[in-house]
Amino acid sequence: MSPLGAAFDGAGTNFAVFSEVAQHVELCLFDEDGAEERVTLKEVDGFVHHIYLPDVGPGRRYGFRVHGPYRPERGERCNPGKLLLDPYARAIEGEVEWNEALFPYHFDAPGRRNDLDSAPYAPKSVVVNPFFDWGSDHPPRTPYHETVIYEAHVKGMTKTHPAIPEPMRGTYAALAHPAMLDYFVKLGVTAVELMPVHQFVQDHALAERRLSNYWGYNTIGFFAPHNAYCSSGQRGEQVQEFRSMVKALHEAGIEVILDVVYNHTAEGNHLGPVLSLRGLDNAAYYRLSQEDPRFYWDTTGTGNSLRMNHPHTLQLIMDSLRYWVTEMHVDGFRFDLAATLARQFHEVDRLSSFFDLVQQDPVISQVKLIAEPWDVGDGGYQIGNFPPLWTEWNGKYRDTVRDFWRGEGGTLGEFASRLTGSSDLYQNDGRRPYASVNFVTAHDGFTLRDLVSYNGKHNEANGEDNRDGENHNRSWNCGAEGPTRDRVILALRARQQRNLLATLLLSQGVPMLLHGDELGRTQHGNNNAYCQDTELTWIDWPNVAEGSELLDFTRTLIALRREHPVFRRRRFFRGRAAHVSGEAVKDITWFTLTGREMTDTDWDTGFARSLMVHLNGKAITEPDLRGLRVEDDSFLLLFNAHSQALGFTVPEGLDPWWAVEVDTAIPYTEYRPLIKGGSEVEVEARSMLVLRAHQDG
């Protein structure tokens, strides 16, 4: 009976599937011509139906049919007319071909049970070869405080790259191509966070509009790499190609983090298709309405939510996570709508069974765990409330940094908090600054270039009359909506992109870049491009100059962060004097533009849009991971979000001389004379200066 799924041992395959409600289960084996052979799983232990078949090996396609009660009013939806995917399938062949036979009802009579055979239209599970030569592969295990994450889409990242052979583009193999590995290494990122690569379904509604589920947040196979991202046409080869990609990225020192969707599946609500879990054991796997179990309790906005208080649902998720770590060698996970995973009953519970299991698991607890800390249910916005083992996408960081640089008043205090690691969110439960995964842009929303080019969304291509997508983007078009030839506006937009990148990469916490932002990628104002698998969302590599100014600027910032521990501290700033080597020093000090230390009144000034912060490299009190004391250069960061240039007085009593490391007013580094403490330096309108303490003048 164990393990669940199809396990090939070199001589035969064991098939095992859970269903508590089933009266009996049939295993359906398909030959090369598509002919179906059915075998009843007569052995049942603990509601696991299983059989061992010798001479059945890798490449064999299969599925299940479940015989049992069909009583939707009680949440029971068994129907042997529906071929079901194995929830533990390691590979899936084909995709859903939308047909009435896939649904539990007839289109012309929704109340009548539909017994049409779905097999001709359903994808098939595939037995895979579990063996792979990992060689000397080992995880990079980059510490959180040294991590720079790059959020990427397998296809969008590589589809147009001229150095990659055309048949390989848009696949796992393309991400492992030397051209991409070289790009990641030169950029300086340490981890690639892949948007969903679990097997997903193209939505029926999108297919009818001739669009596609580009993002992939519509999972149907929690163990199977998405087959459309495989460059090989061989059945089940996506597993080995994915492994080869991970191995190549590891050899380049880059971690692989997966964006995973364990909160819902592609089966949707009561009007959705029967593809897997719904037909196996609907009430065990899904949250059903207590008032009427025909319907689903949904906190994801997708039609259903997985039942996180059922032991076999929890086992499915935990087994999947362990599989991707142990058998596929991934280095971490970003959990989509993670608040849903915390809903053991209805309320969000940070001590739910799922988090207990993760905390105690010897495998999963050792990798990077990143929560998207919200869902669409009541009380679903849970930033700062996840357990200490977890890090979180910090939506408050995104919102505050956007507001500050577009000139919103009253943001100084919160901006300072976000810049220094959001201690107000993470310090009280013993977490560190790297609990905050900082980002300004992500796949959901504007790209960086569009954030400074559009006041409103432009999603007409999605076919929803521009109703979809976020309306309050905290964006600013800098004076014209969309494309313009106005040089002043274009210069301001370029400066704003540099401001946002510099703030992100020099903040405490873990920075995350959206793929293509460093290249000026645009989606022409579409802030919800989930259904656009076109040039709109792909990186336009043929028109990207390798030496582009923004790319070089981003590389410079990442290198500065890597070289200076003061920008990636492992503990929060104290803000008060501490004794270091017998000397009382402050690790951080905030100044007004006159060089005076800020008071409560200064923080509360609603019209102020400038500030200066001293990061004392001599006051890093924690040792590094080898136990050695860390000392770094000191830095002054000067922020001017005003519409006019301002004179900043470099505070006296710190270091006597300062060198300009970064000036976001210009796209490149140029020689600048040293600045003497106590003197005034002009900071251009809407720009930022980074000064490094220099030993002598």
Is residue 334 within 8 A of residue 369, CB to CB? The reply is no
Catalytic residue from among 372, 392, 517, 518:
372
680 catalytic per annotation? no
The partner residues of 612 in beta bridges, in order of sequence, read: 591, 638
Is residue 154 within 8 A of residue 197, CB to CB? The reply is yes
336 catalytic per annotation? yes
- The tokens describing 563, both together, are 């070289």
Is residue 456 within 8 A of residue 481, CB to CB? The reply is yes
Q: Which residues contact 219 (CB under 8 A, 6 or more apart)?
A: 196, 198, 199, 200, 260, 261, 262, 264, 265, 266
Is residue 622 within 8 A of residue 568, CB to CB? The reply is no
Residue 87 CA, chain-centre distance (Å), reads 23
Is residue 336 within 8 A of residue 372, CB to CB? The reply is yes
User: Residue 371: enclosing H or E segment and its boundaries?
Assistant: strand 368-371
Dihedral sign (CA 412, 414, 417, 418): negative
The partner residues of 371 in beta bridges, in order of sequence, read: 335, 392
Catalytic residue from among 26, 336, 518, 663:
336
Phi/psi zone of residue 118: left (φ > 0), alpha (ψ -120 to 50 degrees), beta?
alpha
- CA distances, 242 to each of 6, 224, 245, 253, 277 (Å): 19, 10, 5, 17, 25
Burial class (CB in 10 A: 0-12, 13-18, 19+), 375: buried
- CA distances, 363 to each of 319, 504, 513, 673 (Å): 11, 31, 27, 53
Quickly list H helices, 194-335: 204-208, 237-251, 277-285, 311-326
Pairing of strands 583-586, 588-591: unpaired
- Residue at 608: amino acid letter: A
Q: Which residues contact 76 (CB under 8 A, 6 or more apart)?
A: 21, 68, 69, 70, 282, 283
Quickly list H helices, 327-380: 338-341, 353-360
Residues designated as active site? 336, 372
